Amino acid sequence: MDLIRRSAYGLPATSQAAFIASTEGTKVHYLGSEYLSRRHDLCDDYVRAIRASHLANKDEGYVDIAYTAAVCEHGSVYEGRGANRRCGANGTAALNSKHYAVVALVAKAGGGLDTPTDAQLHGIRDAIEWLRAEGEAGDYIGGHRDGYATTCPGAPLYDWVKRGAPRPGGAPTPTTPVVDLSRLISAASVDPPKSGTPVSYAGVRTVEAALRAEGLLAPALVDGHFGTSTITAYRAWQKRCGYSGADADGIPGKTSLTRLGNARGFTVID
């Protein structure tokens, strides 16, 4: 998955949109306007332009780009409002809280690039899997027109959505969990002092399950809370990876976490 974070293409690191803990799923959109194929290095310019036009729309009162994510013809996923943020693209306040919104950079019929590329379909599917892993999105996949009077996301994309949004070429849809390193580090830093077992990041459970499979964490402690027992278990994993002293402090790093993911079946993003 080629996930391009907001800060990596010039947006504020965090959206001002309201927090939401989860959604029932994801809706797919298209631009509904003219759009021409372009070099990949120009795609981020276009996503920024979408955001600028949304912020300039005083009637809608957008606080950010309306979409949760945007996917270009080359398959890259540009983080829009991002996971756990209410979108602004599904038509009503209720629908914006009910589903995330992923837009494909494709045009209306006859308006240029009006059929998604295979790479783009893979990218949309990547975005859906990312939102399930990082944003507690449910299994539902629909089009903007589902529940709202619009032609979006256009015939080609909607036909694909109604077929279950399969990956092109019959490739299986991966079920590999995704763990966000930055959010994991945050959980490892803020969770231990908290009373009880609050879960600040759902991906912690994936890492804890991997540590359990390595024999480093008791099954009863796979609870999603990166507490002191998980710190101790991760420190043991770091030592197993050859780290010592301050480098084995129980706070995940990219190399050790990637090794754990490769061994136990999850993908690391940062």
Q: Where are the domains of the chain?
A: 3-170, 178-269
d(CA 242, CA 155): 54
Among 24, 120, 127, residue whose Cα is nearest residue 67: 127
d(CA 268, CA 182): 10
How is domain 3-170 classified at the CATH fold level?
Lysozyme-like (3.40.80)
What is the C-alpha separation between 234 and 228, in angstroms, rounded? 10
The pLDDT > 70 percentage for the chain reads 98
Please tell me the predicted confidence (pLDDT) of residue 171. Answer: 55
Segment 76-122, tens digit of pLDDT:
999 999 999 999 999 999 999 999 999 999 999 888 898 999 999 99
Bridge partners of residue 3, in order along the sequence: 77
Q: How many CB atoms lie within 10 A of CB 38?
A: 16
* Unique residue bearing structure tokens 């795609």: 43
Cβ atoms of 216 and 238 within 8 Å: the answer is no
Average pLDDT, the chain: 92
Distance CA 172, CA 73 (A): 20
109-148 as b/e, with b when 16 or more CB fall inside 10 Å?
eebebbebbeebbbbbbbbbbbbbbbbebeeebbbbbbbe
CA dist., res. 106 & res. 117, Å (int): 9
Q: Is the pLDDT of residue 45 over 80?
A: yes
Rounded percentage of the chain residues whose pLDDT exceeds 90: 76
The pLDDT value given to residue 264: 87
pLDDT digits (tens, 9 = 90+) for 147-190: 899 999 999 999 999 999 999 986 555 557 889 999 999 999 99
Query: What number is the average pLDDT over the span 34-39?
Result: 93
Residues written for the chain: 270
How many angstroms separate the CA atoms of 67 and 94, rounded? 15
Closest by alpha carbon to 251, among 224, 228, 218, 269? 228
Peptide bond into 153 cis (omega under 30): yes
Beta-strand pair 69-71/77-79: antiparallel
